[in-house]
Chains A and B, each alone.
Chain A
Amino acid sequence: MRSGTAFAQCTSYDLARMALRGLLTRTDLNPEVVDRIIMGSVVQNVKTPNVARDAALAAGIPKSVPAFTISMACISSNQAIASSTELIQGGHAKVVIAGGTECLSDVPILFQKKVREKLFKARKYKTPKEYLSVVKGLSPSDLLPDTPAIAEFSTGESMGESADRLAALYDVPREAQDAFAMYSHKAAARAQIEGFLSQITPAHLPPSFVPLYQDNGIRKDTSLDKLRTLKPAFHKPFGSVTAGNASFLTDGASAALLMSSSQANALGYVPKVTIRNYTFVAQDPGDELLLGPAYAIPRVLQASGLSLQDIDVFELHEAFAGQVLAVLEALRRNGDGSIPMDKLNAWGGSLSIGHPFGATGTRLLMHAADRLHHEDGKWGLIAACAAGGLGHAMLIERS
């Protein structure tokens, strides 16, 4: 859901517990067999730093099941899936639930560091005079809240600016970005109407508990004309990234059930897909902040002896239309080949469905898995970029 809409009253904990419970209901999994819960989360609510644990307890996962939260920017839940795989491969767990949660409606708004220092000291104050000293030396502007921006900590550059620069570097014009954004929205709208987005577990929120079935970020009536009118959102006035061709702030959570094939057999489950290979990469967060997939994809393919032509289903995270197109262009320039548009994000992507940072990775995996079955394919490839110059790719095979 777009942040500030249906989930405005929620925290990442609320979304996570609904996702976990939804998975238990959907799979009829006996929670007693779960060995670990791993969830990605980026913008934390300070009350639930290990949100995976709090949500697991509320969702009815036995208290004896350890849970931890992973933070790796936009590939947090990809890492959650990878960590689950490693736990299972290493024999440390048999059944793991991996997922992610993000509630960008609930961004922690802080006092500035200077005020925080003073308030920290004030914990021990007793007299009114001592309390007065908190205010002393502060100007009214010091009391302005400090809202975290989506910017790279080491460079200070906002993510949008970085995407703008990347698009320029790979000669991706504004028109192409708008066209891709429209493609994403149309694809998602079609998938929604056709009922392909069945991975969604309806949410029920107080006080009405009226079920929320559908993403509300998909603009099925968007057009190039409309997109063309939008002003650059970051690099002003000459940039090409607008609110229309960038992913929007989103609230959402996801969860996936992972186990070894022998365990699946033992419990009577039929796996959708098998995770075959994956990698994580990192580049200079200054120059190539969002180019990670262009490095990760060839690496994963090479390791499996496959090429882009062998892949039936691509699910690429769409942070920005310009960033996706730059990645595609980089792959081409690098001689890795091209990704056919009809195999890419056929049910929409982060631009249209939304991008709850910590939860997107699991969503990519589920779309890829369901599409493999729907499109009768064998190989699926997932890739995503993330703040910090991080990147990820994963190869899956239909079971």
Chain B
Amino acid sequence: MIQDYLDIEFHDATAVIWIDEQGSSVNRLNRRALSAFEEVLSELDSNDDISAAVFISRKPASFIVGADLNMLQALETKKEVRSLVRDGHRLTARLQTLRIPTVAAMHGPAMGGGLEMALACTYRLCTQHPATKFALPEVKLGLLPAIGGTQRLPRLIGLQEALGMMLTGKNVYPHKAKRIGLVNATTFHPGLLDAALSAAKGLVSGTLSSSRPPSGFGEKLLESTTLSRRLIYQKAESTVQRESKGNYPAPLKILDCVQTGLEEGIDSGLQMEESHFSDLVFTRESKALVRLFFSQQASSTNPFGEHARPINSVGLLGAGLMGGGIAQVSAEGGVNVRVKDLDLEHAAIAKKVTWENLSKRVEKRILSSFDRDVLMERIQPVAAYDALASADLVIEAVPEQLTLKHTVLLETEGAIDPGCIFASNTSSIPISQIAEQSLRPENVVGMHYFSPVPQMPLLEIVRTPHTSLDTLGTAYALGLMQGKTPIVVNDGPGFYTTRILALYMNEALLLLEEGARIDEVDRAMVQWGFPMGPFALFDLVGIDVGAKITEVMREQLPEFTHRTLKISNAASRLKDAGYSGQKSNLGFFSYPKTKGRGSKKEVNQTIYAFFGGPERASLSAAQIQERLGLIMVNEALYCLEEGILSNPTDGDIGAVFGLGFPPFRGGPFQYVDTETTPAIASRLARLRYQHGARFQAPALLTEMAVSDTRFYS
């Protein structure tokens, strides 16, 4: 029993407990783990020859990566969850109050329950390796740290740091971990066990203490009394409310656990953990987030992996913000990038953009300046196509004009090897149209990245009927090297993401034409869970870009979908009038010149002249959300029906990770599942009756509604 998870080894009087979950590449916390730990603790408690214990992972690059989500998903009742949490609480309490000192020796990620176990040890030691990181990421799955994390973490590192970690799920790296007292010491990787053994000896003999560094002035001032702590709780609560718009239940529950524990004692805090956790597990929000997590994990396996060719060097055409971002993630993936633009000045912007991004990490000491140099040298600006001769794959990110795309395609094909792949980062032009002029259409593929590239996880790979499996496999492999979450979709106007976004944006313009207010529409959609409203998004990507996309969609979409779509021409009228959004500070909003407190964007009232004048009618948030939300969802359904998408999972990943579709809703398909197909069908029917044929539901939905079936089992 114990050997398939833990393995005890004796070094004099110190017991070294190797954590090594059999049959898994990483250690996770599950039932098996809990009982193995119970067994080990009994041994440690009863064997008087043992004077200290070290917990260390046998896995090469991680400690314990968190709770086993499969186990969690299999639980069906709150009662079962509560019993699991209680077991975890009993285990960590036992660990903390063991008669002997314990040392957690950590290398690689120690996440979630793994970190919580370490928190219950006497002493924490970690390697300085860049792969070593700590986080309590439960909040990202709509959950909370439930084996005492909400209680032990604030007591260890202070309230403010602890809330920061638990409410955002962010990573803490060794340098900072040491500074805030999350770990007692750091060491180098090969010496981890030796260091842990001497720490254990030191703790036994009393020459080493596990006390944390003295708290800073700010912490003392704010965290020492109930009254002052109340300020922190209030501040945290208002931040949570502002950020989550009430859409995410977990952060407030975390806050509640922490506050209860600190003000009423650890037992009350733990009870709160148990009760809140067992509620959260069954929320639709958590279920959606967990499924997304699994989907994202699944996409890290290349479905065309056997066809992938090696990639040493990537060529990039166009060095703007987009090209710069692609260059950066490529360099980070270990790929050499040659960036070509009109001239060297333009090409060098890719280096500039990357350097600015990496320098922020250097300042935070997450990246060394030497490693920044290494990444920077992987990006070489070039001025001529010849320099791309050795590329394995060339990505074009030039402006969105078909003739220009054809020009660069032909010029590139003149320089590259016959085996080199040509990928277009177009967001709206069908790849087949670009490939028409290609000598080797089997090598042409769409690689649609999202801005800002280093932050947006999605890569939408677009295949045409000619795209070869080699090409797909290689593009997918590159996406994974770049740290992206790829989905593969079929070619069509706007592919998947641009198509559903375009109709969503179009609907927003139609609302405006009907008299809605810009700020009300944006506020409603942010409230619904999008990171920004449609008009702020228009301003950010550029109204001219929006107009371009609308144009492409207007030409192609109706014949494609056999529906009458009402397409607003407002974007192109605005573009012609010189409105291009934030870059010209002439858009739906006007933007303050200086950043900082009190400066915020305001609605540009003059723009209403394009939408029937300043007289505005008030629409309820629910009306706005219904129309904008469902037009996007409906179009996603069409994409599945027409075979643009090969499955609902890709549709959910694409909408959430590329467009910011509310993650707690899990993507359009999970959303339909949660609301149920009959409900969505009848709501669409109502919208169709009110607003026209563009809300016509696809036959797919109608059929599913009849039998009340779901996309996910």
Contacts and interface: CB of A to CB of B under 8 A. Distances in A.
Interface in A201-252: 202, 204, 206-211, 213
B351 interface: yes
A25 B382 CA distance: 9
Given A204-B348, A206-B355, A209-B351, A21 B381 contact: no
Interface stretch (B369-377, B404-412, B638-646): B369-377
A52 interface: no
Contacts of B356: 207
Contacts of B378: 60
Nearest to B382: A25
B348 A58 contact: no
Interface in A1-38: 14, 17-18, 21, 25, 28
Contacts of B370: 54, 57-58
Contacts of B424: none
B69 interface: no
Interface in B324-357: 336, 338, 344-345, 348-349, 351-352, 355-356
Contacts of A209: 348-349, 351-352, 355, 381
B344 A211 contact: yes
A202 B387 contact: no
B344 A21 contact: no
A59 interface: yes
A37 to B, nearest CB: 14
Contact of B344 (A18, A54, A202, A207): A202
B380 interface: yes
B390 interface: yes
A204 B352 CA distance: 9
Contacts of B222: none
A210 B348 contact: yes
B705 interface: no
B456 interface: no
A347 B26 CA distance: 63
B621 interface: no
A25 B345 CA distance: 17
Contacts of B380: 21, 25
Contacts of B359: 206
B389 A60 contact: no
A58 B352 contact: no
Contacts of A206: 352, 355, 359
B383 to A, nearest CB: 9
Contacts of A211: 344-345, 348, 381
A28 B349 contact: no
B374 A58 contact: yes
Contact of A25 (B338, B348, B349): B338
Contacts of A25: 338, 380, 382, 387
B336 A60 contact: yes
Nearest to B348: A209
Interface centre among B370, B373, B377, B380 (most CB of A within 10 A): B377
A58 B345 contact: no
A268 B338 CA distance: 22
Given A202-B344, A209-B349, A58 B355 contact: no
Contact of B377 (A28, A54, A59): A59
Contact of B355 (A18, A60, A207): A207
Contact of B374 (A18, A57, A208, A210): A57
Chain B interface, DSSP helix/strand/loop, else mixed:
helix
Contacts of A58: 370, 373-374, 377
Contacts of A21: 377, 380
A208 B338 contact: no
Contacts of B390: 28
Give the size range of A's interface with the partner.
20 to 34
A41 B387 CA distance: 30
Query: Among B378, B380, B390, which residue has the most Cβ atoms of chain A within 10 A?
Result: B380
A208 B352 CA distance: 6
A14 B372 CA distance: 12
Contacts of B387: 25
Nearest to B343: A211
A231 B387 CA distance: 48
Interface in B598-627: none
Interface in A256-310: none
Nearest to A14: B373
Interface string B142-164: 00000000000000000000000
A65 B382 CA distance: 26
Contacts of B355: 206-207, 209
A296 B295 CA distance: 72
Nearest to A54: B370
A81 to B, nearest CB: 23
Contacts of A59: 377
B312 to A, nearest CB: 8
Contacts of A207: 352, 355-356
A60 B370 CA distance: 12
A202 B389 CA distance: 20
A208 B345 CA distance: 10
Nearest to A30: B312
A211 B383 CA distance: 11
Nearest to A211: B344
Contacts of A18: 377
A17 B379 CA distance: 13
Nearest to B353: A209
Nearest to B351: A209
A209 B374 CA distance: 16
A206 B344 CA distance: 15
Nearest to A17: B377
B332 to A, nearest CB: 14
Nearest to A22: B380
A204 B377 contact: no
Given A209-B355, A211-B345, A204 B374 contact: no
Interface string B353-368: 0011001000000000
A203 to B, nearest CB: 10
A210 B350 CA distance: 11
A208 B355 CA distance: 10
Contacts of A14: 373
Contacts of B344: 202, 211, 213
A28 B387 CA distance: 8
A23 to B, nearest CB: 11
A169 B595 CA distance: 68
A206 B350 CA distance: 12
A60 B371 CA distance: 11
A25 B355 CA distance: 19
A204 to B, nearest CB: 5
A208 B349 CA distance: 8
A204 B377 CA distance: 10
A257 B351 CA distance: 26
Contacts of B345: 210-211
A58 B374 CA distance: 4
A18 B377 CA distance: 7
B345 to A, nearest CB: 6
A235 B348 CA distance: 46
Pick from A28, A204, A213 the residue with the most CB of B within 10 Å.
Answer: A204
A206 B349 CA distance: 11
A7 to B, nearest CB: 15
Nearest to A29: B390
A250 B4 CA distance: 65
Given A18-B377, A210-B348, 8 more contacts: A25-B338, A25-B382, A58-B373, A58-B377, A204-B351, A209-B349, A211-B345, A211-B348
9 closest cross-chain pairs (CB), A and B: A209-B352, A209-B348, A211-B344, A58-B373, A209-B351, A21-B377, A25-B380, A28-B390, A204-B348
19 contacts: A14-B373, A17-B377, A21-B377, A21-B380, A25-B380, A28-B390, A57-B370, A57-B374, A58-B373, A58-B374, A60-B378, A202-B344, A204-B351, A206-B359, A207-B352, A209-B351, A211-B344, A211-B345, A211-B348
Interface of B: 336, 338, 344-345, 348-349, 351-352, 355-356, 359, 370, 373-374, 377-378, 380-382, 387, 389-390
